[in-house]
Amino acid sequence: MALKTLSAKAAAALDKELMSTGAFSIDQLMELAGLSVSQVVYRVHPLNKGSRVLVACGPGNNGGDGLVAARHLRHYGYQPTIYYPKRSKSDLYQRLAKQLEDLDVPFVEDFPSALKSTDHIVDAIFGFSFSGEVREPFPAVIKALEETKLPVTSVDAPSSWNIEEGPPKSGVGSSFQPEFLISLTAPKPLVKHFQGRHFIGGRFVSPSIAKKYDFEVPEYQGLDQIVETSPTGQKL
Amino acid sequence: MALKTLSAKAAAALDKELMSTGAFSIDQLMELAGLSVSQVVYRVHPLNKGSRVLVACGPGNNGGDGLVAARHLRHYGYQPTIYYPKRSKSDLYQRLAKQLEDLDVPFVEDFPSALKSTDHIVDAIFGFSFSGEVREPFPAVIKALEETKLPVTSVDAPSSWNIEEGPPKSGVGSSFQPEFLISLTAPKPLVKHFQGRHFIGGRFVSPSIAKKYDFEVPEYQGLDQIVETSPTGQKL
Protein backbone atom coordinates (compact mmCIF):
# COMPACT_ATOMS: atom_id res chain seq x y z
CA MET A 1 0.00 0.00 0.00
CA ALA A 2 1.31 3.43 -0.90
CA LEU A 3 2.30 5.60 2.01
CA LYS A 4 -0.20 8.38 2.64
CA THR A 5 1.44 11.65 3.45
CA LEU A 6 0.34 15.26 3.58
CA SER A 7 2.17 17.73 1.37
CA ALA A 8 3.07 21.13 2.83
CA LYS A 9 0.22 22.63 0.84
CA ALA A 10 -2.30 20.03 2.02
CA ALA A 11 -1.14 20.38 5.64
CA ALA A 12 -1.69 24.15 5.46
CA ALA A 13 -5.15 23.65 3.95
CA LEU A 14 -6.01 21.06 6.62
CA ASP A 15 -4.95 23.44 9.41
CA LYS A 16 -7.06 26.17 7.89
CA GLU A 17 -10.04 23.85 7.58
CA LEU A 18 -9.72 22.62 11.18
CA MET A 19 -9.89 26.22 12.34
CA SER A 20 -12.77 27.25 10.07
CA THR A 21 -15.36 24.56 9.33
CA GLY A 22 -13.71 22.25 11.88
CA ALA A 23 -14.43 24.89 14.54
CA PHE A 24 -11.19 24.38 16.49
CA SER A 25 -9.38 27.38 17.93
CA ILE A 26 -5.62 27.62 17.58
CA ASP A 27 -5.33 27.52 21.39
CA GLN A 28 -7.13 24.20 21.42
CA LEU A 29 -5.16 22.65 18.53
CA MET A 30 -1.84 23.82 19.92
CA GLU A 31 -2.68 22.45 23.36
CA LEU A 32 -3.44 19.04 21.86
CA ALA A 33 -0.41 19.10 19.55
CA GLY A 34 1.92 20.04 22.40
CA LEU A 35 0.37 17.38 24.61
CA SER A 36 1.18 14.79 21.91
CA VAL A 37 4.78 15.98 21.74
CA SER A 38 5.12 15.70 25.52
CA GLN A 39 3.84 12.12 25.39
CA VAL A 40 6.52 11.14 22.86
CA VAL A 41 9.26 12.58 25.07
CA TYR A 42 7.78 10.77 28.07
CA ARG A 43 7.78 7.49 26.15
CA VAL A 44 11.28 7.68 24.68
CA HIS A 45 13.05 9.35 27.63
CA PRO A 46 11.93 7.80 30.92
CA LEU A 47 12.24 10.36 33.71
CA ASN A 48 14.85 8.33 35.60
CA LYS A 49 17.12 8.28 32.54
CA GLY A 50 17.56 12.06 32.49
CA SER A 51 14.98 14.68 33.17
CA ARG A 52 16.71 17.72 31.69
CA VAL A 53 15.20 18.63 28.33
CA LEU A 54 16.17 21.58 26.16
CA VAL A 55 13.27 22.76 24.01
CA ALA A 56 14.33 24.81 20.98
CA CYS A 57 11.40 26.88 19.74
CA GLY A 58 11.08 28.65 16.42
CA PRO A 59 9.08 31.80 15.75
CA GLY A 60 5.87 30.14 14.48
CA ASN A 61 3.36 27.41 15.30
CA ASN A 62 6.03 24.73 15.64
CA GLY A 63 7.61 26.80 18.41
CA GLY A 64 4.20 27.15 20.06
CA ASP A 65 3.80 23.37 20.09
CA GLY A 66 7.19 23.24 21.80
CA LEU A 67 6.14 25.73 24.48
CA VAL A 68 3.01 23.70 25.27
CA ALA A 69 5.00 20.45 25.34
CA ALA A 70 7.50 22.00 27.76
CA ARG A 71 4.70 22.93 30.16
CA HIS A 72 3.30 19.40 30.19
CA LEU A 73 6.81 17.98 30.61
CA ARG A 74 7.34 20.25 33.60
CA HIS A 75 4.15 18.91 35.16
CA TYR A 76 5.31 15.31 34.51
CA GLY A 77 8.46 16.08 36.50
CA TYR A 78 10.99 16.95 33.77
CA GLN A 79 13.23 19.99 34.01
CA PRO A 80 12.76 21.85 30.73
CA THR A 81 14.85 24.77 29.55
CA ILE A 82 13.59 26.92 26.69
CA TYR A 83 15.58 28.43 23.86
CA TYR A 84 13.21 30.84 22.13
CA PRO A 85 15.27 33.54 20.43
CA LYS A 86 12.63 34.94 18.05
CA ARG A 87 9.55 35.41 20.16
CA SER A 88 6.30 35.88 18.35
CA LYS A 89 4.43 39.04 19.30
CA SER A 90 1.07 37.30 19.11
CA ASP A 91 -0.94 37.12 22.29
CA LEU A 92 -1.13 33.32 22.28
CA TYR A 93 2.64 32.82 22.24
CA GLN A 94 3.18 35.40 24.92
CA ARG A 95 0.66 33.61 27.10
CA LEU A 96 2.28 30.22 26.52
CA ALA A 97 5.64 31.69 27.53
CA LYS A 98 4.10 33.29 30.65
CA GLN A 99 2.65 29.93 31.69
CA LEU A 100 6.19 28.51 31.63
CA GLU A 101 7.63 31.45 33.54
CA ASP A 102 5.00 30.87 36.25
CA LEU A 103 6.37 27.34 36.59
CA ASP A 104 9.91 28.72 36.96
CA VAL A 105 11.00 27.21 33.65
CA PRO A 106 14.16 29.05 32.53
CA PHE A 107 14.51 30.71 29.13
CA VAL A 108 18.10 30.77 27.89
CA GLU A 109 19.83 32.69 25.12
CA ASP A 110 23.06 30.76 24.70
CA PHE A 111 22.20 27.55 22.85
CA PRO A 112 25.69 25.93 22.85
CA SER A 113 26.03 26.28 26.61
CA ALA A 114 22.44 25.06 27.19
CA LEU A 115 23.36 21.96 25.15
CA LYS A 116 26.06 21.17 27.70
CA SER A 117 23.59 20.88 30.54
CA THR A 118 20.71 18.87 29.09
CA ASP A 119 19.98 15.18 28.63
CA HIS A 120 17.90 15.43 25.46
CA ILE A 121 16.43 17.98 23.09
CA VAL A 122 13.13 18.87 21.47
CA ASP A 123 13.47 20.49 18.05
CA ALA A 124 10.39 22.71 17.65
CA ILE A 125 12.08 25.20 15.36
CA PHE A 126 10.42 24.74 11.98
CA GLY A 127 7.34 22.77 10.96
CA PHE A 128 5.37 22.09 7.81
CA SER A 129 5.29 25.73 6.76
CA PHE A 130 9.08 25.92 6.46
CA SER A 131 10.59 26.50 3.06
CA GLY A 132 13.56 28.26 1.65
CA GLU A 133 16.52 29.07 3.79
CA VAL A 134 17.23 28.85 7.50
CA ARG A 135 17.39 32.39 8.88
CA GLU A 136 19.53 33.73 11.73
CA PRO A 137 20.06 32.78 14.48
CA PHE A 138 19.00 29.24 13.55
CA PRO A 139 21.79 28.02 11.19
CA ALA A 140 24.19 27.60 14.15
CA VAL A 141 21.44 25.94 16.21
CA ILE A 142 20.68 23.40 13.52
CA LYS A 143 24.37 22.77 13.01
CA ALA A 144 24.63 22.07 16.75
CA LEU A 145 21.65 19.68 16.57
CA GLU A 146 23.35 17.96 13.65
CA GLU A 147 26.57 17.50 15.57
CA THR A 148 25.36 16.74 19.09
CA LYS A 149 25.41 13.19 20.40
CA LEU A 150 22.31 13.91 22.51
CA PRO A 151 19.01 12.50 21.26
CA VAL A 152 16.75 14.95 19.43
CA THR A 153 12.96 14.73 19.06
CA SER A 154 11.76 16.76 16.10
CA VAL A 155 8.24 18.15 15.89
CA ASP A 156 6.55 17.57 12.52
CA ALA A 157 9.82 17.93 10.59
CA PRO A 158 13.54 17.80 11.30
CA SER A 159 14.19 21.55 11.18
CA SER A 160 15.81 22.70 7.93
CA TRP A 161 14.40 19.75 5.97
CA ASN A 162 12.25 20.51 2.97
CA ILE A 163 8.74 19.18 3.69
CA GLU A 164 8.53 17.40 0.33
CA GLU A 165 12.18 16.63 -0.43
CA GLY A 166 13.78 15.94 2.94
CA PRO A 167 17.25 17.06 4.02
CA PRO A 168 18.98 19.84 2.09
CA LYS A 169 21.47 18.57 -0.48
CA SER A 170 24.34 20.44 1.16
CA GLY A 171 25.15 22.80 4.00
CA VAL A 172 23.41 23.16 7.33
CA GLY A 173 20.95 20.34 8.04
CA SER A 174 22.15 18.10 5.22
CA SER A 175 23.29 15.44 7.67
CA PHE A 176 20.70 16.14 10.38
CA GLN A 177 18.98 12.88 11.31
CA PRO A 178 17.07 13.17 14.63
CA GLU A 179 16.48 10.05 16.71
CA PHE A 180 12.74 10.73 17.08
CA LEU A 181 10.08 12.44 15.02
CA ILE A 182 6.46 13.17 15.78
CA SER A 183 4.29 13.93 12.77
CA LEU A 184 1.25 15.99 13.72
CA THR A 185 -2.03 14.66 12.25
CA ALA A 186 -0.21 12.83 9.41
CA PRO A 187 3.34 12.22 8.12
CA LYS A 188 4.74 14.68 5.63
CA PRO A 189 6.54 13.44 2.46
CA LEU A 190 9.96 14.03 4.10
CA VAL A 191 9.49 10.91 6.24
CA LYS A 192 10.83 8.79 3.37
CA HIS A 193 14.25 10.12 4.37
CA PHE A 194 13.78 9.62 8.11
CA GLN A 195 15.52 6.71 9.81
CA GLY A 196 14.65 7.04 13.52
CA ARG A 197 11.61 6.17 15.63
CA HIS A 198 8.48 7.80 14.29
CA PHE A 199 5.22 8.72 16.01
CA ILE A 200 1.98 10.27 14.88
CA GLY A 201 0.09 12.59 17.22
CA GLY A 202 -2.98 14.78 17.33
CA ARG A 203 -5.96 12.70 18.34
CA PHE A 204 -8.62 15.14 17.25
CA VAL A 205 -9.02 14.57 13.52
CA SER A 206 -12.45 13.34 12.46
CA PRO A 207 -12.70 10.44 10.00
CA SER A 208 -14.43 12.72 7.49
CA ILE A 209 -11.57 15.25 7.50
CA ALA A 210 -9.00 12.44 7.15
CA LYS A 211 -10.96 11.03 4.23
CA LYS A 212 -11.15 14.41 2.53
CA TYR A 213 -7.36 14.85 2.83
CA ASP A 214 -6.73 11.22 1.93
CA PHE A 215 -4.78 10.07 4.99
CA GLU A 216 -5.42 7.46 7.66
CA VAL A 217 -6.31 8.22 11.26
CA PRO A 218 -3.93 5.86 13.08
CA GLU A 219 -5.19 3.38 15.64
CA TYR A 220 -4.47 5.15 18.91
CA GLN A 221 -4.58 2.92 22.00
CA GLY A 222 -6.21 3.65 25.34
CA LEU A 223 -5.80 7.28 26.34
CA ASP A 224 -2.69 7.76 24.19
CA GLN A 225 -2.46 10.91 22.12
CA ILE A 226 0.32 9.31 20.06
CA VAL A 227 0.98 6.11 18.15
CA GLU A 228 4.30 4.72 16.97
CA THR A 229 4.66 3.73 13.31
CA SER A 230 7.52 2.63 11.10
CA PRO A 231 10.07 5.39 10.37
CA THR A 232 8.19 6.23 7.19
CA GLY A 233 4.73 6.08 8.74
CA GLN A 234 3.48 2.53 8.17
CA LYS A 235 1.55 0.68 10.86
CA LEU A 236 3.81 -1.40 13.11
CA MET B 1 -4.49 17.55 58.74
CA ALA B 2 -7.46 19.72 57.85
CA LEU B 3 -8.92 19.10 54.44
CA LYS B 4 -8.09 21.89 52.01
CA THR B 5 -10.99 22.81 49.83
CA LEU B 6 -11.85 25.74 47.59
CA SER B 7 -15.01 27.68 48.38
CA ALA B 8 -17.25 28.75 45.50
CA LYS B 9 -15.91 32.26 45.88
CA ALA B 10 -12.27 31.13 45.90
CA ALA B 11 -12.85 28.84 42.91
CA ALA B 12 -14.30 31.76 40.94
CA ALA B 13 -11.36 33.98 41.91
CA LEU B 14 -8.89 31.23 40.94
CA ASP B 15 -10.55 30.79 37.54
CA LYS B 16 -10.37 34.52 36.96
CA GLU B 17 -6.71 34.61 37.99
CA LEU B 18 -5.77 31.67 35.74
CA MET B 19 -7.26 33.59 32.81
CA SER B 20 -5.67 36.95 33.67
CA THR B 21 -2.26 36.83 35.32
CA GLY B 22 -2.09 33.06 34.72
CA ALA B 23 -2.36 33.76 30.97
CA PHE B 24 -4.54 30.75 30.16
CA SER B 25 -7.35 31.10 27.64
CA ILE B 26 -10.71 29.58 28.41
CA ASP B 27 -10.31 27.32 25.36
CA GLN B 28 -7.13 25.93 26.84
CA LEU B 29 -8.47 25.45 30.38
CA MET B 30 -11.66 23.84 29.12
CA GLU B 31 -9.69 21.48 26.88
CA LEU B 32 -7.57 20.37 29.85
CA ALA B 33 -10.56 20.14 32.21
CA GLY B 34 -12.57 18.07 29.72
CA LEU B 35 -9.54 15.85 29.07
CA SER B 36 -9.37 15.14 32.83
CA VAL B 37 -13.06 14.24 32.91
CA SER B 38 -12.60 11.85 29.98
CA GLN B 39 -9.74 10.13 31.82
CA VAL B 40 -11.93 9.49 34.87
CA VAL B 41 -14.61 7.92 32.70
CA TYR B 42 -11.98 5.80 30.96
CA ARG B 43 -10.64 4.62 34.31
CA VAL B 44 -13.95 3.77 35.98
CA HIS B 45 -15.81 2.43 32.93
CA PRO B 46 -13.55 0.16 30.86
CA LEU B 47 -14.67 0.24 27.25
CA ASN B 48 -15.55 -3.45 27.17
CA LYS B 49 -17.95 -2.99 30.11
CA GLY B 50 -20.24 -0.64 28.19
CA SER B 51 -19.25 2.08 25.78
CA ARG B 52 -22.48 4.07 25.67
CA VAL B 53 -22.19 7.26 27.70
CA LEU B 54 -24.85 9.93 28.07
CA VAL B 55 -23.33 13.34 28.74
CA ALA B 56 -25.74 15.84 30.31
CA CYS B 57 -24.50 19.37 29.76
CA GLY B 58 -25.66 22.52 31.50
CA PRO B 59 -25.63 26.03 30.04
CA GLY B 60 -22.27 27.20 31.48
CA ASN B 61 -18.64 26.16 31.84
CA ASN B 62 -19.49 22.83 33.44
CA GLY B 63 -21.44 21.94 30.28
CA GLY B 64 -18.45 23.01 28.17
CA ASP B 65 -16.20 20.62 30.13
CA GLY B 66 -18.76 17.92 29.33
CA LEU B 67 -18.65 18.70 25.60
CA VAL B 68 -14.86 18.46 25.55
CA ALA B 69 -14.91 15.23 27.56
CA ALA B 70 -17.42 13.72 25.12
CA ARG B 71 -15.12 14.45 22.18
CA HIS B 72 -12.16 12.75 23.83
CA LEU B 73 -14.36 9.81 24.82
CA ARG B 74 -15.47 9.46 21.20
CA HIS B 75 -11.83 9.31 20.13
CA TYR B 76 -11.12 6.65 22.79
CA GLY B 77 -13.87 4.49 21.26
CA TYR B 78 -16.89 5.30 23.44
CA GLN B 79 -20.29 6.11 21.96
CA PRO B 80 -21.34 9.38 23.59
CA THR B 81 -24.78 10.93 23.33
CA ILE B 82 -25.24 14.56 24.35
CA TYR B 83 -28.15 16.11 26.19
CA TYR B 84 -27.63 19.87 25.95
CA PRO B 85 -31.01 21.58 26.22
CA LYS B 86 -29.85 25.14 27.02
CA ARG B 87 -27.12 25.86 24.53
CA SER B 88 -24.89 28.78 25.24
CA LYS B 89 -24.74 31.35 22.47
CA SER B 90 -21.03 31.95 23.01
CA ASP B 91 -18.72 31.15 20.15
CA LEU B 92 -16.64 28.65 22.17
CA TYR B 93 -19.61 26.45 23.09
CA GLN B 94 -20.93 26.48 19.56
CA ARG B 95 -17.55 25.35 18.33
CA LEU B 96 -17.31 22.55 20.90
CA ALA B 97 -20.74 21.33 19.80
CA LYS B 98 -19.74 21.50 16.13
CA GLN B 99 -16.64 19.39 16.83
CA LEU B 100 -18.95 16.70 18.21
CA GLU B 101 -21.34 16.93 15.29
CA ASP B 102 -18.39 16.40 12.94
CA LEU B 103 -17.72 13.13 14.78
CA ASP B 104 -21.38 12.10 14.29
CA VAL B 105 -22.07 12.31 18.02
CA PRO B 106 -25.85 12.57 18.45
CA PHE B 107 -27.53 15.36 20.43
CA VAL B 108 -30.83 14.26 22.00
CA GLU B 109 -33.69 16.18 23.53
CA ASP B 110 -35.54 13.48 25.43
CA PHE B 111 -33.50 12.74 28.55
CA PRO B 112 -35.64 9.88 29.98
CA SER B 113 -35.51 7.93 26.75
CA ALA B 114 -31.76 8.60 26.35
CA LEU B 115 -31.30 7.11 29.84
CA LYS B 116 -32.80 3.86 28.59
CA SER B 117 -30.08 3.37 26.02
CA THR B 118 -26.89 4.23 27.83
CA ASP B 119 -24.47 2.36 30.08
CA HIS B 120 -23.34 5.28 32.24
CA ILE B 121 -23.76 9.02 32.58
CA VAL B 122 -21.66 12.16 32.91
CA ASP B 123 -23.31 14.92 34.93
CA ALA B 124 -21.87 18.17 33.56
CA ILE B 125 -24.93 20.26 34.39
CA PHE B 126 -23.83 22.60 37.17
CA GLY B 127 -20.38 23.36 38.56
CA PHE B 128 -18.86 25.58 41.22
CA SER B 129 -20.80 28.65 40.12
CA PHE B 130 -24.17 27.02 40.88
CA SER B 131 -26.28 28.48 43.63
CA GLY B 132 -29.92 28.96 44.32
CA GLU B 133 -32.49 26.86 42.58
CA VAL B 134 -32.39 24.36 39.75
CA ARG B 135 -34.09 25.94 36.73
CA GLU B 136 -36.13 24.25 34.01
CA PRO B 137 -35.67 21.87 32.32
CA PHE B 138 -33.13 20.50 34.82
CA PRO B 139 -35.26 19.53 37.85
CA ALA B 140 -36.62 16.47 36.03
CA VAL B 141 -33.12 15.61 34.78
CA ILE B 142 -31.62 15.71 38.26
CA LYS B 143 -34.53 13.69 39.60
CA ALA B 144 -33.81 11.09 36.93
CA LEU B 145 -30.10 11.05 37.89
CA GLU B 146 -31.16 10.61 41.51
CA GLU B 147 -33.36 7.64 40.68
CA THR B 148 -31.37 5.84 37.99
CA LYS B 149 -29.43 2.71 38.83
CA LEU B 150 -26.82 3.61 36.19
CA PRO B 151 -23.51 4.99 37.46
CA VAL B 152 -23.11 8.77 37.30
CA THR B 153 -19.83 10.72 37.11
CA SER B 154 -20.30 14.31 38.28
CA VAL B 155 -18.04 17.11 37.13
CA ASP B 156 -16.85 19.39 39.97
CA ALA B 157 -20.13 19.03 41.89
CA PRO B 158 -23.11 16.69 41.97
CA SER B 159 -25.56 18.97 40.15
CA SER B 160 -28.06 20.69 42.49
CA TRP B 161 -25.68 20.44 45.47
CA ASN B 162 -24.71 23.65 47.19
CA ILE B 163 -20.94 24.13 46.76
CA GLU B 164 -20.43 24.83 50.45
CA GLU B 165 -23.25 22.89 52.09
CA GLY B 166 -23.72 19.81 49.93
CA PRO B 167 -27.06 18.24 48.98
CA PRO B 168 -30.23 20.29 49.34
CA LYS B 169 -32.12 19.56 52.55
CA SER B 170 -35.24 18.52 50.66
CA GLY B 171 -36.67 18.18 47.18
CA VAL B 172 -34.84 17.48 43.93
CA GLY B 173 -31.22 16.45 44.49
CA SER B 174 -31.55 15.84 48.23
CA SER B 175 -30.79 12.15 47.82
CA PHE B 176 -28.50 12.48 44.77
CA GLN B 177 -25.25 10.63 45.49
CA PRO B 178 -23.25 10.00 42.28
CA GLU B 179 -20.85 7.05 42.15
CA PHE B 180 -17.96 9.20 40.86
CA LEU B 181 -16.89 12.80 41.23
CA ILE B 182 -14.05 14.71 39.61
CA SER B 183 -13.07 17.92 41.35
CA LEU B 184 -11.37 20.32 38.97
CA THR B 185 -8.14 21.85 40.36
CA ALA B 186 -9.22 21.24 44.01
CA PRO B 187 -12.14 19.75 45.97
CA LYS B 188 -14.98 22.04 46.94
CA PRO B 189 -16.39 21.99 50.51
CA LEU B 190 -19.33 19.81 49.37
CA VAL B 191 -17.02 16.78 49.21
CA LYS B 192 -17.56 16.19 52.92
CA HIS B 193 -20.99 14.86 51.93
CA PHE B 194 -19.72 12.75 49.04
CA GLN B 195 -19.47 8.98 49.48
CA GLY B 196 -18.30 7.66 46.09
CA ARG B 197 -14.93 7.47 44.32
CA HIS B 198 -13.30 10.85 44.07
CA PHE B 199 -10.73 12.18 41.62
CA ILE B 200 -8.94 15.47 41.19
CA GLY B 201 -8.13 16.72 37.70
CA GLY B 202 -6.58 19.67 35.94
CA ARG B 203 -2.84 19.21 35.76
CA PHE B 204 -1.98 22.79 34.92
CA VAL B 205 -1.93 24.61 38.25
CA SER B 206 1.44 26.08 39.25
CA PRO B 207 2.69 25.56 42.80
CA SER B 208 2.61 29.33 43.35
CA ILE B 209 -1.10 29.60 42.45
CA ALA B 210 -1.91 26.61 44.66
CA LYS B 211 -0.03 28.20 47.53
CA LYS B 212 -1.83 31.50 47.07
CA TYR B 213 -5.22 29.74 47.21
CA ASP B 214 -4.06 27.44 49.99
CA PHE B 215 -4.66 24.05 48.40
CA GLU B 216 -2.39 21.16 47.51
CA VAL B 217 -1.43 20.19 43.96
CA PRO B 218 -1.99 16.41 44.10
CA GLU B 219 0.76 13.98 43.13
CA TYR B 220 -0.21 13.06 39.59
CA GLN B 221 1.48 9.94 38.21
CA GLY B 222 3.07 9.44 34.81
CA LEU B 223 1.04 11.14 32.10
CA ASP B 224 -2.20 11.09 34.11
CA GLN B 225 -4.31 14.23 34.14
CA ILE B 226 -6.20 12.84 37.17
CA VAL B 227 -5.45 11.38 40.57
CA GLU B 228 -7.78 9.41 42.84
CA THR B 229 -8.17 10.54 46.45
CA SER B 230 -10.41 9.55 49.33
CA PRO B 231 -14.09 10.52 48.85
CA THR B 232 -13.43 13.73 50.74
CA GLY B 233 -10.16 14.54 48.98
CA GLN B 234 -7.40 13.10 51.17
CA LYS B 235 -4.40 11.36 49.63
CA LEU B 236 -4.93 7.61 49.24
DSSP-assigned states of every residue in A97-140? HHHHHTTT--EES-HHHHHTT-SEEEEES--TT--S-PPTTHHH
Parallel, antiparallel, or unpaired: how do β-strands A120-124 and A52-57 relate? parallel
Please give the biggest Cα pair distance in chain B. Answer: 48
Tens digit of each residue's pLDDT (9 = 90 or more) over A78-133: 999 999 999 999 999 999 999 999 999 999 999 999 999 999 999 999 999 998 89
Whole-structure pTM value: 0.97
Which residues of chain A neighbour B222 with C-beta distances below 8 Å?
42, 76
Our CA-based measurement puts residue B71 at a distance from the nearest CA of chain A, in whole angstroms, of 8
**Residues of B (147-166) whose Cβ lies below 8 Å from A:** none
pLDDT band at residue A236 under the 50/70/90 scheme: confident
pLDDT value of residue B2: 54
How many Cα atoms within 13 Å fall on the side-chain side of residue A84? 29
| Binding-site sequence positions of B | 61-65, 123, 127-133, 156, 159
Collapsing DSSP to helix, strand or coil, A10 comes out as helix
How many Cα atoms within 13 Å fall on the side-chain side of residue B102? 25
Tens digit of each residue's pLDDT (9 = 90 or more) over B190-223: 999 999 999 999 999 999 999 999 998 999 999 9
**Complex-level ipTM:** 0.96
Q: Please count the other Cβ atoms lying within 10 Å of the Cβ belonging to residue B231.
A: 15
pLDDT value of residue A132: 86
pLDDT value of residue B15: 95
The percent of residues above 70 in pLDDT, for chain A, comes to 99
Which residues of chain A neighbour B102 with C-beta distances below 8 Å?
22-23, 206, 208-209
Residue B88: alpha-carbon gap to chain centroid: 17
Please say whether the beta carbons of A77 and A167 come within 8 A: no
Helix intervals (H) in B7-54: 8-19, 26-44
| Binding-site sequence positions of B for (6S)-NADPHX | 61-65, 127-133, 156
Task: Compute the mean pLDDT over every residue in chain B, rounded to the nearest whole number.
Answer: 96
pLDDT band at residue A235 under the 50/70/90 scheme: confident
- For residue B54, the one-letter residue type is L
Which residues of chain B neighbour A208 with C-beta distances below 8 Å?
102
Q: If you measure CA to CA, which chain A residue comes closest to B94?
A: A23
pLDDT value of residue B236: 84
pLDDT value of residue A233: 85
Closest Cβ–Cβ partner in A25, A102, A206 for B27: A25
Tens digit of each residue's pLDDT (9 = 90 or more) over B27-81: 999 999 999 999 999 999 999 999 999 999 999 999 999 999 999 999 999 999 9
A204 close to B (CB below 8 A): yes
Sign of CA dihedral A110, A113, A118, A123: positive
pLDDT value of residue A185: 95
Parallel, antiparallel, or unpaired: how do β-strands A79-83 and A107-108 relate? parallel
pLDDT band at residue A2 under the 50/70/90 scheme: low
Smallest CA-to-CA distance from A149 within A107, A177, A183 is with A177
The percent of residues above 90 in pLDDT, for chain B, comes to 94
B208 close to A (CB below 8 A): yes
Rg over alpha carbons for chain B, rounded to the nearest Å, is 16
| Binding-site sequence positions of B for K(+) | 62, 123, 159
How many Cα atoms within 13 Å fall on the side-chain side of residue B83? 24
State yes or no: pLDDT of B228 exceeds 80.
Answer: yes
Q: If you measure CA to CA, which chain B residue comes closest to A31?
A: B28
Please say whether the beta carbons of B83 and B54 come within 8 A: yes
Q: Taking phi first (over 0 means left), then psi (-120 to 50 degrees means alpha), and beta for anything else, what does residue B88 get?
A: beta
Q: If you measure CA to CA, which chain B residue comes closest to A207?
A: B103
B130 close to A (CB below 8 A): no
pLDDT band at residue B1 under the 50/70/90 scheme: low
Tens digit of each residue's pLDDT (9 = 90 or more) over A177-218: 999 999 999 999 999 999 999 999 999 999 999 999 999 899
How many Cα atoms within 13 Å fall on the side-chain side of residue A99? 28
pLDDT band at residue A63 under the 50/70/90 scheme: very high
B84 close to A (CB below 8 A): no
User: A223, A224, A225, A227: which to substitute to probe chain B, counting the most B Cβ within 10 Å?
Assistant: A223
Please say whether the beta carbons of B126 and B98 come within 8 A: no
State yes or no: pLDDT of B3 exceeds 80.
Answer: no
Q: If you measure CA to CA, which chain A residue comes closest to B95?
A: A23
